[in-house]
Structure 1
Amino acid sequence: MTGTLKSPATLLLGRYDAIGTLRMIARTTPLPTAVRRDLAHRLVPAGRDHP
């Protein structure tokens, strides 16, 4: 995600490859304001083990 937890701007999408490395595969277009607000309520900070 780009932006902040309170106002996410775009989403970065990733997947693990065959050897277990997380690779970025896509990014969304800038999110509309209504989607940013809705998504902000659903996001939580990543834990220590998050890549």
Structure 2
Amino acid sequence: MFGLFKKKSEKEKLQEAYTKKLSEVHKASQINRKEADRLAAEAEEIAKKIEKL
């Protein structure tokens, strides 16, 4: 109950962004491969930030 309003840590925020970006990659890969590659590169950058934490 008390965790309802707990602020998310930087790592949690990055993991959420990473998951969202991977979802976008999957959707884009069905339509536009070049866009999917760009999004995958962005997801990789987020993964690197997570590893540094």
The answer, yes or no, to whether TM exceeds 0.5 is no
1 or 2 for the larger relative contact order (CA 8 Å, sep ≥6)? 2
Q: Which structure is higher in helix share?
A: 2
Return the TM-score normalized by structure 1.
0.31
| TM-score normalised by the chain length of structure 2 | 0.30
* Bigger-Rg structure (1/2): 2
Q: Flag the structure with higher strand content.
A: 1
